[in-house]
Amino acid sequence: DTAVSQTPKYLVTQMGNDKSIKCEQNLGHDTMYWYKQDSKKFLKIMFSYNNKELIINETVPNRFSPKSPDKAHLNLHINSLELGDSAVYFCASSPPTGDWDHTEAFFGQGTRLTVV
Cβ nearer to other proteins, comparing 49 with 71: 49
Least separation in angstroms between residue 101's CB and other proteins is 7
Q: Does 98 bind other proteins (CB under 8 A)?
A: no
Residues 18-34, buried b or exposed e (16+ Cβ, 10 A)? ebebbbbbeeebbbbbb
Q: Does 106 bind other proteins (CB under 8 A)?
A: yes
Is there binding between residue 103 and other proteins (CB under 8 A)?
Answer: yes
Q: For residue 75, what are the contacts with CB-CB under 8 A and spacing of at least 6? A: 20, 21, 22, 23, 66, 67, 68, 69
Contact residues: other proteins, CB under 8 A: 33, 35, 40-43, 45, 48, 56, 90, 92, 94, 97, 100-101, 103-110
